[in-house]
Structure 1
Amino acid sequence: MKTLIVIPARYASTRYPGKPLVGLRGPDGVEKSLVQRSWEAGRSVPGITRVVVATDDDRIRTAAEAFGAEVVMTPETCRNGTERCAAALDVLGRDWDVVVNLQGDAPLTPPWFIEALVEAMAAHPQAAVATPVLRCDRTTLESFREDRRAGRVGGTTAVFDAAGDALYFSKEVLPYTGRDFAEGETVPVFHHVGVYAYRPAALASYAGWPEGALERWEGLEQLRFMERGVKVACVEVDARGAEFWELNNPVDVARLEAILARRG
């Protein structure tokens, strides 16, 4: 499988301006930018053909080139990471089996999450889009609830059918449970991991569609596919004991640094 990883990085984030250049201190005391840690995560995935950072900002381009990344400049008009991946293909060409969108706020994404996505696309050549989902444990579920109680837009949850195709994604905690869970009890909430695998043709179609109503209200780019009748395959992944969280808000910097420290 000829696989391209694109890391979309936008400086002018609505909720967190300058987020790609925010520093994250590792257990060795070294601080690296969010986009660098995301690029290193992409580079750690076996079997990937090429990894690029896609941005419209010279500050991000300068920082990324300084740590050795290949950078593709894309238009300021890109409204989300999927549109930016589509724009990157306008520069790089469409001769790819799979294009992976490793969003620049998810540097803790384990390499086997991406491997599982690519394997799912190889096993199901009819699949246009796939994304990983991770069953929440009690701690992650409480983190979701804490964000909602504080009025923060945090992580995303996913619900899907028996075939694994997405029914909906939301910034709310879905499905509603209304109770706490005991130690060892199965939690029926799935954390959507913000990584996507696409066929180049799916990206080309996406770029030509207007923003969908649900996409706009939720602020979730993948809903545009669903609003157009394109199935999004949810690939359940195993954390294998690794903690996972994205950087959505300033408060998440401390969360991510604590996870990095525990990883050692």
Structure 2
Amino acid sequence: MSVLIVIPARYASVRYPAKPLAELKGASGQSRSLIQRAWEAASAVKGVDRVVVATDDDRIKHAAEAFGADVVMTPESCANGTERCASAYDVLGSDAEIVVNLQGDAPLTPAWFVEDLIEAMRATPAADIATPVLRCDGRALNGFLADRKAGRVGGTTAVFDVNMRAMYFSKEVVPFTSDTYPNEARTPVFHHVGVYAYRPAALKAYPDWPVGPLEQLEGLEQLRFMEQGGTVRCVEVQPKGRQFWELNNPEDVPVIERMMQEMGIE
């Protein structure tokens, strides 16, 4: 099955304007933009036929083309990354059988997270959409709780049934737990990794569906599929010693830079 990775990137983020152009310093002290690091993460995934950056902003377009990215321009009216991926798929006239949305705010996404997602889609023909989840260790969970206590929205958490079908996604920490966990401990909370794999039919249908109350409240695009009665398949991925964090707020920059330095990521 042919695979297209789309990296949706917009300049006018409410929480962090110009976020795709934010500079992140790696272990060697070298700085590269968030969008370049997301491009490098996507380009490291095996078995992919094409990687494109999808944006509506010339500043991002010029920055991405400067480091060699393939760029497709999409309308400003795209409300979220999934709508931008649908637009990019249409503009490109792509015939890819699996479309991956690797959101541009997750530069620490290991290649095997995406490879596991693609493999799950190939092994489960009935799945219209799939997304990775990562069991939080105590360190990650404590980071989420600290963000919420400070009034910040950090990562997204996911709950799913015994068949790995998503039951809910939230920017709150779910399920509730009153326990405290050491940094290296396994916890009952799963971090939703901001990557999606779609069948083209599901992706094309998405922009025509109305925004439901849950998507509006949470600001989570995947809830639109669930509110329409669709099934979102969760795929548990393994960290293999890697730390994972998304860049949602300016305060996340030093967190991610510290993780890159600890992991030796240039």
TM-score range, shorter chain: over 0.9
Partners in 2 of 1:2 and 1:188 — Cα distance? 35
Correspondence list, 1:1-264, <5 A? 1-181=1-181, 185-264=185-264
Aligned residues: 264
Contact 1:94/1:200 (8 A) holds in 2: no
Q: Say which SS state the counterpart of residue 82 (structure 2) adopts.
A: helix
Amino acid at match of 2:105: D
Partners in 1 of 2:79 and 2:218 — Cα distance? 14
Ranges of 4+ aligned residues in structure 1 off by more than 6 Å: none
1:41-81 superposed Cα distances (whole Å, 9 cap, x missing partner): 00001111000000000000000000000000000000000
Q: CA deviation at 1:218?
A: 0.2
- Structure 2 residue runs of 5 or longer lacking an equivalent are none
Q: CA deviation at 1:186?
A: 3.3
- Structure 1 residue runs of 5 or longer lacking an equivalent are none
Q: Say which SS state the counterpart of residue 180 (structure 1) adopts.
A: coil
Contact 2:137/2:183 (8 A) holds in 1: no
Partners in 2 of 1:111 and 1:126 — Cα distance? 24
Partners in 2 of 1:141 and 1:204 — Cα distance? 35
Contact 2:117/2:197 (8 A) holds in 1: yes
Identity %: 65
Amino acid at match of 2:148: R
- Greater CA deviation, 43-52 or 85-94? 85-94
Q: Say which SS state the counterpart of residue 136 (structure 1) adopts.
A: strand
TM-score by length of 2: 0.98
1:220-261 superposed Cα distances (whole Å, 9 cap, x missing partner): 000000000110000000000100000000010001101111
Please provide the CA RMSD for this pair: 0.9
Q: CA deviation at 1:87?
A: 0.2
Q: CA deviation at 1:178?
A: 1.4
Partners in 2 of 1:244 and 1:91 — Cα distance? 32
Partners in 1 of 2:85 and 2:169 — Cα distance? 20
Q: Say which SS state the counterpart of residue 259 (structure 1) adopts.
A: helix
